[in-house]
Structure 1
Amino acid sequence: MLKTLCAATAACFAMLSGPALAAPKPNLAIYGQLPTIEMVEISPEGTKLAIVASSGDQRILTVRQIGGGVISGMNLGTAKLRGVEWAGPDHLLLVGSQTAIVPGVQGPKQEYFMVSDFDVATGKQAPLLNDQAGAMNIIVGWPMPRTIDGQAVAILEGVRFVDNRGQVTLYRTLMSTRATKIHDLAGEPNTNGWLVNAAGEPVAQSLYDQKRGVWYLKTKVGGAWRQIDEAVTPMGSYGLSGFGRDGKSILVWRTDDQDESILREYQMDGTHQDLAQGVDQTALIHDPVTLALLGGYKLDGDDLRYTFFDATTQKTWDSVRKPFGADYVSLASWSHDRRKVVVRADSKTEGPGYFLVNLDTKRADFLGPVYKGVDANSVSPVRSIKYKAADGLEISGYLTLPKGRDPKNLPLIVLPHGGPQGRDTPSFDWWSQALASRGYAVLQPNFRGSEGFGWDFIKAGFGEWGKKMQTDLSDGVRDLARQGIVDPKRVCIMGASYGGYAALAGATLDKGVYRCAVSVAGPSDLQTMLATDRELHDGERSSAQRYWMRFMGANGLRDPDLATISPARQAAKIDIPVLLIHGKDDTVVRYDQSQIMASAMKRAGKPVSFVTLDGEDHWLSRGATRLKMLTEAIAFVEKHNPPE
């Protein structure tokens, strides 16, 4: 490859020029910037690409003719764009979000999602739903583009106020005129999702009674809605997962009597069967025209595996995947006939990029890198690892090693993921790569409670928040030290969200392992966190609260165990440097969680560093503040745990 040839040439030149000097460290901005290309969506007929790119804090939408030049586009400014969706060949639905307090709506700031239409022909953008009487200009589900009588239509789940109470309502927008009307009036206060068939008809509703923790499924037959199933689901709604194999049945992920996840396929009359075989269970893939279930994908070990029911579709994907060898390849979008496919390929040596695969011409064209400046010189090697926790449970994870250094007695950063029911994957991780570029080994453990390793592994995390979920991390440190890969006296812990909590717990609950801790948007006082959630739900216990308490092992807000696993309540135990970083607009883990931690440390006479990210949310959606987070965090660990 050209990149490899250039690298080899440079190395030969350095050898001829005299003694080699230490290579300069890559600029942190190549890791901390927003992705240069955030998303690529191919149009239904396969002739155009919608590409969302970024430059600093600016996001730019470009529509290109495949094999030609730019057709249209616009600078979206600093808008937080969450996704784009084609609605026919000439319109793009742009889904964005904004952190705001809405007048008349009770509670603190929330993240509200909105949708607008970008007309490719005119190059103009206009918001949808803003002219509907009694409606908020927000959506609560993903847009559902349909073609009805040859016309592109967008079905949107919006919020309409009825008797001063918000009610999820289905709207229909004709894209050619942007004319919008209410599509179905049957929504109830508890409705939390719809399914609309290929003809544009609403045929199923998911409802959830938050107070009682009960889920309901309704279908529409003969013009009338009727309930066909219900279940007690205290951890949240089952929701809807699209249409089944015939494009008409209804799919729902639900749990059986042993709490195992199953994919149930309902007919409209309520009869059903469970799809135990033939579909991978991480995510589902549907035909964009018929909406029928095609298959799914999951991470099997370190392999991202796509499985399809239809042999022809499986052969198509295998043909797309084959040229990329050992790269981690994921489907970004494909044309309706599935002959043109956009993929993201994460190279283990050169970083991630987007490609357009044309199965008719048998070409794979490089569209661009996900991160400009990331190449073979700035990507550190990543190993898959496994080790045993103290109680014998096998933990897997990933170890990123600093490029060009002997893997012996290295300084280490433990970087636990969020969730806690998330997981790390072998795909390119900008945060761990940035740390490795500074000379650190980086451990990303999939501790108990992480998804993707079976239900028993998730259940092993129940009640272990701050306990075995925490020692799973330090058990990984001890295993690496035993092998001589890391120096156990030079270890820090850093993370965001639950990972931020784990960093604080490493400073308070699992002492003696770490030299410093960096918490980005980490919960610190669990009782306050749960009380805030209850306040948002009018004093009622929500499914989110029940979910947190299952992992925390708490019976309620007054459970004394919450104090023992809350770092803010244990601040007097801290004897290592701590850095807190938090976005002011975080609506998932509120900014006050870091304020509480800082105040508790000051009362205990402990020094603390606190960095506020103005205008930033939980997901580090802005370029400048994302880079600020990374720069501040790395400067902190370099000071307290020098990599050399």
Structure 2
Amino acid sequence: MVSVVILAQGVAGGRANGQAPGGAAEKARLTVKDAAVMFGARENILNASLSPDGTKIALLGTNGNKGAVLNIIDLASSTPSPVPILTSSGEPERLAWCRWAGNTRILCYAYANSVINTGDVLTVNRILAINVDGKNLQVLRTPEHNGLALGYTNYGGSVLDWNTGVDGHVLMVRRYVPEQTTGSLTAQTKEGFGVDDINSANLHSAGIERPRASAVEYISDGIGHVRIVGSDTGLNQDGYNNGRVVYQYRTKPGGEWQPLPNPKFDPYYVDPTLNVAYGLKSQDGRNVAYSLALDGSGKETMLFAHPTVDVDDFATIGRNSRVIGVIYTTDRSNVEYFDPAMRRLASALAKAIPALPLIRIVDSSQDERKLLISASSDTDPGRLYLLNRDTSAMTEVTPTRPAMEHVALAPMKPVSFPARDGTMIPAYLTLPPGSDGKNLPGIVLPHGGPGARDAWGFDWLPQFWAQIGYAVIQPNFRGSTGYGDAWFQNNGFRSWRAAIGDVTDAGHWLVKEGIADPKKLAIFGWSYGGYAALQSAVVEPDLFKAVVAVAPVTDLAQFKEDAANFTHYRVMKDFIGSGPHILEGSPARQAGKIKAPVLMFSGTYDANVSVGQARLMADRLRDAGHPGQLVIYDKLDHYLDDSAARSDLLSKSAAFVEQAFAAGK
């Protein structure tokens, strides 16, 4: 029987049983100004990693509005405390994650956005290496050139395997660019993505897999051997992906490549002990988890299928990415464990911290005896714990958002409502803390994507609106992922009528149930959600009294062309499609039908949805004589990952919506 003991005090304070400190009387409600600052602030912890020997934690945290700081916590110290060894300003360089390459060397992913001469936004990334004491900072360079390269690469590589068997060595996927050969006998002629073994201490490299012009994916076995490669033949033809990946595999390390037996099997991981690949396959219109033998027999074994939702991914542990179960989402995220020890541990954790049911393993020591664990809920943004499986002691390292410790957060309730055709649409309802849920101002909050879905858990956007008195509904409209092919239809753009119909029906349901005041109903969306907000105002101009759209898609034809200079252009063209929906489903081309006031936000470094989309919408609204506002944040990307900007966005949005409600009385 596994037991877990929660220590009352940890590295950075702690609590027992996942309960909030103090009683309900300590929980406060915030003013709009204070709520905008608190909920607009980024999480304190961006990423955490445990050293292979389990003696140190690397914590990547926020540093100011846009920056980041890498701290090291020495668990062997009598008074462990964070020691900063690396910082980034966020102007423009940013740190996204850091992880141990060995016991004394850490790798960090750094990136920056910029606008190039074509007007496109380009993201440049590099992998940095640094000693645990903050010394010997180096860039794991892209392959060097002796002559004049026939192109450039913004891709600085990615780590494929953290566990090559040699401390400090990793397998990296890197892109090779050929050089001109005229006048040079040593010109580099390799092209495409290849795999190299990199010594992170001195940057020496050795080729493991020769570059392939068509390669788009490699999968290793977690112990330093590449076993699967995926190729997109479109890259060989015209430089554009065609979205159809063909896989090859090896029956043993170093063996000959041969076609994967089942082309419908989408591989994710390889288990070297069992000599199988884990992957997903569509069955009865839903993603199902399978294993595929890599011994040449082609034997497939179904591991898990859910009757109503897709399998989302595989749960893994440690530096080897050992598969221990599958992840799927019903009302909330769930894990079906294959590993008996992990199943027992998950059960023990659920009993130890019942108030924090969303539990995941963040990282582990090499022997998997020490684990970093994240635990959260809808009303708790999350906490990082260190678990010692040998002593069954679990210590809280740090809360994700300590500033919210004494703030009353709003429960997120799974609900469903009928669409106009009778289909029941799953959604989440978040009401203001302490509210009776009647006759409130309401916000419909469609998610982005559209290839995504909302799930139960803490979310700063609905929490902000609930904090200032709004009822918030988040519909998983048709076009969302996770519910199978029939629900996804032809995606939320090509099947926009079904998706937008479900979004507007969410608003009607709030009013019909008496939850929302029909004179105080607004819609707020980000990315595809911003598109949905604008298009909802096109098809039902009298329903919403205010529209807020962040980084919205506004013209489908232009959205396709925005990808023309990138390898995914053909995939994007197929995804958006052609036909009447391009005109009918583009809010910028239907701006004259919108009655509600519109507020938009966008960043000039947005590589996902060009700022030109929002600017076009603003122009079309102005041409139609419509009151529309556009706020542009300079040098920020799609996520507006800046505490000051997000706080400003929330503050301006709340004031705008209130003003629209007042004007409509």
For residue 197 of structure 1, what is the amino acid of its counterpart? D
CA distance in 2, matches of 1:472, 1:626: 28
Q: Is the 8 A contact 1:298 1:306 kept in 2?
A: yes
Q: Which residue does the alignment assign to 1:307? A: 336
- Structure 1 segment 352-371 matched on structure 2, within 5 A: 352-371=382-401
CA distance in 2, matches of 1:536, 1:501: 22
1:467 paired to 2:494: no
Provide Cα deviations, 1:582-632, integer angstroms capped at 9, x if missing partner: 111111111111111111111111121010011111122233323332222
Q: Is the 8 A contact 2:379 2:411 kept in 1?
A: yes
1:589 paired to 2:609: yes
Residues 297 and 561 of structure 1: CA distance in aligned 2, closer, same or farther (over 3 Å): closer
Residues 331 and 535 of structure 1: CA distance in aligned 2, closer, same or farther (over 3 Å): same
Q: Which residue does the alignment assign to 1:15? A: none
Alignment partner for residue 161 of structure 2, among 133, 141, 144? 144
Provide Cα deviations, 1:175-209, integer angstroms capped at 9, x if missing partner: 23222343321x32110011233442323210012
CA distance in 1, matches of 2:491, 2:253: 46
Q: Which residue does the alignment assign to 2:554? A: 524
Q: Which residue does the alignment assign to 1:226? A: 257
Q: Is the 8 A contact 2:374 2:383 kept in 1?
A: yes
1:431 paired to 2:431: no
Alignment partner for residue 592 of structure 2, among 555, 572, 592? 572
Q: Is the 8 A contact 1:298 1:305 kept in 2?
A: yes
Q: Is the 8 A contact 2:221 2:272 kept in 1?
A: no
Residues 198 and 433 of structure 1: CA distance in aligned 2, closer, same or farther (over 3 Å): closer
Shift of 1:358: 2.7
Shift of 1:355: 2.1
CA distance in 2, matches of 1:274, 1:466: 37
Q: Which residue does the alignment assign to 2:212? A: 188
CA distance in 1, matches of 2:179, 2:447: 43
Deviates more, 1:22-31 or 1:559-568: 22-31
Deviates more, 1:603-612 or 1:36-45: 36-45
Residues 456 and 171 of structure 1: CA distance in aligned 2, closer, same or farther (over 3 Å): same
Provide Cα deviations, 1:526-578, integer angstroms capped at 9, x if missing partner: 011112224534xx9622332333xxxxxx2xx23211110000011111100
Q: Is the 8 A contact 1:253 1:263 kept in 2?
A: yes
Q: Which residue does the alignment assign to 2:57? A: 49
Q: Which residue does the alignment assign to 1:16? A: none
For residue 233 of structure 2, what is the amino acid of its counterpart? D
Q: Is the 8 A contact 1:339 1:359 kept in 2?
A: yes
For residue 66 of structure 1, what is the amino acid of its counterpart? L
Q: Which residue does the alignment assign to 1:509? A: 539
Shift of 1:463: 6.7
Alignment partner for residue 376 of structure 2, among 317, 337, 346? 346
Q: Secondary structure at the match of 1:176?
A: coil
Provide Cα deviations, 1:2-50, integer angstroms capped at 9, x if missing partner: 9866445659xxxxxxxxx987554421110111112222222221111
Shift of 1:131: 6.3
Q: Pairwise CA RMSD of aligned residues?
A: 3.1
- Structure 1 segment 365-384 matched on structure 2, within 5 A: 365-384=395-414
Residues 249 and 139 of structure 1: CA distance in aligned 2, closer, same or farther (over 3 Å): farther
CA distance in 1, matches of 2:367, 2:459: 32
Q: Name stretches of at least 5 consecutive residues in structure 1 with no aligned partner.
A: 12-20, 550-555
CA distance in 2, matches of 1:91, 1:279: 40
CA distance in 1, matches of 2:257, 2:171: 22
CA distance in 1, matches of 2:305, 2:372: 22
Q: Is the 8 A contact 1:245 1:292 kept in 2?
A: no
Greater RCO (CA < 8 Å, at least 6 residues apart) = 2
Q: Is the 8 A contact 2:419 2:505 kept in 1?
A: yes
Q: Which residue does the alignment assign to 1:485? A: 515
Provide Cα deviations, 1:44-76, integer angstroms capped at 9, x if missing partner: 222111111113222111010125324552222
Alignment partner for residue 261 of structure 1, among 287, 293, 296? 287
For residue 259 of structure 2, what is the amino acid of its counterpart? I
Q: Secondary structure at the match of 1:241?
A: strand
- Structure 1 segment 125-204 matched on structure 2, within 5 A: 125-130=137-142, 132-133=144-145, 136=153, 138-139=155-156, 141-148=158-165, 150-162=166-178, 167-185=192-210, 187-204=211-228
Residues 431 and 481 of structure 1: CA distance in aligned 2, closer, same or farther (over 3 Å): same
Q: Secondary structure at the match of 2:549?
A: strand
CA distance in 1, matches of 2:303, 2:142: 44
Q: Is the 8 A contact 2:519 2:661 kept in 1?
A: no
Alignment partner for residue 105 of structure 2, among 73, 82, 91? 91
Q: Is the 8 A contact 1:139 1:156 kept in 2?
A: no
Shift of 1:354: 1.9
Shift of 1:292: 4.3
Residues 141 and 193 of structure 1: CA distance in aligned 2, closer, same or farther (over 3 Å): farther
For residue 196 of structure 2, what is the amino acid of its counterpart? Y
Provide Cα deviations, 1:370-409, integer angstroms capped at 9, x if missing partner: 1231134241222211111111211111111112333110
Provide Cα deviations, 1:313-352, integer angstroms capped at 9, x if missing partner: 2212322333111422233222233332222222444442
CA distance in 2, matches of 1:101, 1:157: 25
CA distance in 2, matches of 1:301, 1:181: 47
Q: Is the 8 A contact 2:317 2:363 kept in 1?
A: no
1:599 paired to 2:599: no
Q: Percent identity?
A: 24
Q: Which residue does the alignment assign to 1:321? A: 350
Residues 478 and 507 of structure 1: CA distance in aligned 2, closer, same or farther (over 3 Å): closer
Provide Cα deviations, 1:161-186, integer angstroms capped at 9, x if missing partner: 1257951122221123222343321x
Q: Is the 8 A contact 1:279 1:307 kept in 2?
A: no
Shift of 1:449: 1.9
Deviates more, 1:49-58 or 1:203-212: 203-212
CA distance in 2, matches of 1:232, 1:311: 31
CA distance in 2, matches of 1:206, 1:359: 37
Q: Which residue does the alignment assign to 1:418? A: 448
Alignment partner for residue 625 of structure 1, among 629, 645, 656? 645
CA distance in 2, matches of 1:259, 1:23: 45
Q: Is the 8 A contact 1:247 1:291 kept in 2?
A: no
For residue 573 of structure 1, what is the amino acid of its counterpart? K
Q: TM-score, normalised by structure 1?
A: 0.87
Residues 386 and 127 of structure 1: CA distance in aligned 2, closer, same or farther (over 3 Å): same
CA distance in 2, matches of 1:500, 1:348: 24
Q: TM-score, normalised by structure 2?
A: 0.85
Q: Is the 8 A contact 1:215 1:231 kept in 2?
A: no
- Equivalenced residue count is 615
